[in-house]
Amino acid sequence: MNRILSSILLFLLFSSAVSSQTLLERPKLVVGLMLDQMRWDYLYRYYDRYSDKGGFKRLLKEGNTCENTLIPYAPSVTACGHSVVYTGSAPAITGITGNAWWDKDQNRTVYCTEDKNVATVGSNSSKGKMSPKNMLVTSISDEIRLATNFKSKVIGIAIKDRGAIFPVGHSANAAYWYDNSVGKWITSTYYMPALPDWVTQFNDQKFPDQYYEKGWSLLFDSTTYIQSTSDNKTYEAKPLGMGFPYDLKQFIGKDYGKLSTTYFGNELTFEFAKAALENESLGQDAVTDLLAVSFDSPDYIGHSFGPNSMEAEDAMLRFDLALGKFLALLDQKIGKNQYTLFLTADHGVAHIPEFMQENRLPAGRVFTIKLMDRLNASLEKIYKIKKIILSDHNYQYHLNLHKLDSAGIAVSEIINWLKKECANEPGIDRLFALTETNTIPLPPTIKKAINLGYHPRRSGEVQLILKPGYIDASGTTGTTHGLWNPYDTHIPLLWFGWGIQKGKTIRETSMSDIAPTLATLLRIQMPSGNIGSAIKEVIK
């Protein structure tokens, strides 16, 4: 009997030894954090105000920061950014050429995640009729699933549907986003027939009402916000009222969309991410899981108040504190150095033009919709055709090719007319046919951005380039993003945790390099449309 027991023990020891030698080392969990609209300079603009117990200083000191990470394509908008970070690709390949585009095959405007073949799960609204079907490539999340024979669990979370859906690709276990008509987290039948109990229980806590009850006051005394302009400038939008402190009680039960334009949108997203981490048991076994979380409130805040506002500064200071707590939770639940985390942004933002002008800096507004309407009216008088320009999505004019062809009018004739008509238009730097991109004199950076953003079935015929500092505007307050300029395309990229080499990477890197870096780190295949390269400096 003793001899049998000894043999069994030896066999178990041998099996354990072989297993430990052959088991491929990977982190228990990959965490991707994206801030929707974070300029790279926010890392250092507020550095002295970030807490020693917060998240940004810890990531900068203990991780690796890629200081010159740029978005290589245009337009620099949310859908493109979220798809490119996780695919290592570009809109020219993913097909995600904007938050929306004029689709030549369907002859209509298409929203990036729309899917009429699925239904909302979690509310009675139509806001869940979404899926990743319009993205033409795999994501790193799909590749993790493929590499583990679909044993890895992959979950995406964001207030915006596009921020939750594109990062986790086509094969995700779940993607959740915020239904601002009811103040609840929802999903679609693409992922599941009904919400898990834990999501329903989370929604039942009515966090938005709790946040509205608190209202938004500054974290510190207003005199300490020396990196910002004074509160309530005339060129800031007023979505919440007239300035700090914001009384939000008026929105309870009436307008749950306002939550996104406060720092509470970030708080709600962190709370939901924590609940997912706990209830889905992410990172609790030997198979690597992935949690993709996007924080959309910085975008709503930035668009309304601008990057030089007290609202933007206060939201970043509060995000820093919440990030520190989230890292501590990951340490506790997953274990220090047992997870790999990266933090980046989908785009930056331009300063409000009137703020720039106030300080004698070049900037302005181009009212592109009004311009398009005016051009269409003039074209109709000349050619007797209504609405020759179908849309101005993504700084491009989409022409009515069917009507022009039927009338025997050459597209080049219309484009030449547009060039002459817009030659002296304030704020427009260049207007040219997209077919001319590689033949006309253009700086290499702009030429590359236009090429990487061009998809033949989803892009227009005419490209508009605005002067630096000028924005595409529909009103006289707030600001936006979307062009090739550094304020829109220079983004933070921080790496932290398992497999990451501590340090600082100074050379220019690309948003498209994030996915192949993860693929190299995890020793899995790159996504199917990948054009980026692994950032070797960040890998231990």
Q: What is the pLDDT along the chain (540 residues), one digit of tens a residue?
A: 455 555 545 444 444 444 444 579 999 999 999 999 999 999 999 999 999 989 999 999 999 999 999 999 999 999 999 999 999 999 999 999 999 999 999 999 999 999 999 999 999 999 999 999 999 999 999 999 999 999 999 999 999 999 999 999 999 999 999 999 999 999 999 999 999 999 999 999 999 999 999 999 999 999 999 999 999 899 999 999 999 999 999 999 999 999 999 999 999 999 999 999 999 999 999 999 999 999 999 999 999 999 999 999 999 999 999 999 999 999 999 999 999 999 999 999 999 999 999 999 999 999 999 999 999 999 999 999 999 999 999 999 999 999 999 999 999 999 999 999 999 999 999 999 999 999 999 999 999 999 999 999 999 999 999 999 999 999 999 999 999 999 999 999 999 999 999 999 999 999 999 999 999 999 999 999 999 999 999 999
Is residue 201 located within the same domain as residue 248? Answer: yes
Do the domain assignments include residue 5?
A: no
Is residue 503 located within the same domain as residue 392? Answer: no
Do the domain assignments include residue 438?
A: yes
Q: How many CB atoms lie within 10 A of CB 129?
A: 19
Q: Which of 438, 468, 498 is the last residue of a domain?
A: 468
Distance CA 486, CA 489 (A): 5
Task: Tell me if residue 160 falls in helix, strand or coil.
Answer: coil
Is residue 416 located within the same domain as residue 304? Answer: no
- Please classify residue 194 by burial: count the beta carbons closer than 10 Å to its beta carbon, then call 0-12 exposed, 13-18 middle and 19+ buried: exposed
Helices and strands per DSSP (H, E), number in the chain: 19, 19
Is residue 191 located within the same domain as residue 209? Answer: yes
Is residue 402 located within the same domain as residue 321? Answer: no
- The phi, psi pair for 462, rounded to 5°, reads -125, 135
Distance CA 438, CA 428 (A): 20
Distance CA 340, CA 498 (A): 5
Q: Which domain holds residue 142?
A: 29-357+485-538
The pLDDT of residue 3 is: 53
Distance CA 165, CA 174 (A): 9
Q: Which residues pair with 121 in a beta bridge?
A: 187
Is residue 382 located within the same domain as residue 429? Answer: yes
- Please classify residue 10 by burial: count the beta carbons closer than 10 Å to its beta carbon, then call 0-12 exposed, 13-18 middle and 19+ buried: exposed
Do the domain assignments include residue 56?
A: yes
The pair of structure tokens assigned to 437 is 């991109």
Angle between helices 368-383 and 411-421 (to 10 degrees): 120
The pLDDT of residue 23 is: 72
Nearest to 351 by CA among 360, 340, 339: 360
Is residue 233 located within the same domain as residue 338? Answer: yes
The pLDDT of residue 18 is: 40
Evaluate whether 96 touches 79 at the Cβ level (below 8 Å). Answer: yes
DSSP one-letter string for 119-130: -EESSSSSTT-B
Is residue 136 located within the same domain as residue 224? Answer: yes
Is residue 146 located within the same domain as residue 269? Answer: yes
Q: Tell which phi-psi region holds residue 86, choosing left (phi > 0), alpha (psi between -120 and 50) or beta.
A: alpha
- Please classify residue 167 by burial: count the beta carbons closer than 10 Å to its beta carbon, then call 0-12 exposed, 13-18 middle and 19+ buried: buried
Do the domain assignments include residue 298?
A: yes
Whether 65 is catalytic is no
Distance CA 420, CA 136 (A): 37
431: domain CATH number? Answer: 3.30.1360.150
What residues contact 143, with CB distance under 8 A and at least 6 apart? 519, 524, 525, 526, 527
Q: Which of 422, 442, 468 is the last residue of a domain?
A: 468
Is residue 319 located within the same domain as residue 434? Answer: no
What residues contact 460, with CB distance under 8 A and at least 6 apart? 102, 391, 393, 394, 396, 397, 398, 399, 434
Do the domain assignments include residue 474?
A: no
Nearest to 476 by CA among 229, 237, 230, 232: 237
Task: Tell me if residue 471 falls in helix, strand or coil.
Answer: strand
Among 22, 65, 69, 78, the active-site one is 78
Question: Which amino acid is it at 392?
Answer: D
Residue with tokens 């889905």: 280
Q: What angle do CA 39, 234, 314 make, to 5 degrees?
A: 40
Do the domain assignments include residue 530?
A: yes
Evaluate whether 398 touches 460 at the Cβ level (below 8 Å). Answer: yes
- Please classify residue 146 by burial: count the beta carbons closer than 10 Å to its beta carbon, then call 0-12 exposed, 13-18 middle and 19+ buried: middle
Rg of the chain's alpha carbons, rounded to an integer?
25
494: domain CATH number? Answer: 3.40.720.10
Distance CA 263, CA 283 (A): 28
Evaluate whether 349 touches 40 at the Cβ level (below 8 Å). Answer: no
Do the domain assignments include residue 10?
A: no
Is residue 412 located within the same domain as residue 489? Answer: no
- The phi, psi pair for 171, rounded to 5°, reads -110, 15
Q: What angle do CA 397, 399, 402 make, to 5 degrees?
A: 165
Evaluate whether 203 touches 184 at the Cβ level (below 8 Å). Answer: yes
> For residue 362, is the peptide bond before it cis, meaning its omega torsion is within 30 degrees of 0?
no
The pair of structure tokens assigned to 339 is 């997870």
Evaluate whether 240 touches 261 at the Cβ level (below 8 Å). Answer: yes
Q: Which of 439, 468, 497 is the last residue of a domain?
A: 468
State the distance between the two ends of the chain, measured CA to CA, in whole angstroms: 49
The pLDDT of residue 1 is: 46
Task: Report the number of distinct structural domains present in the chain.
Answer: 2
Is residue 83 located within the same domain as residue 166? Answer: yes
What is the maximum alpha-carbon separation in the chain?
Answer: 102
Do the domain assignments include residue 276?
A: yes
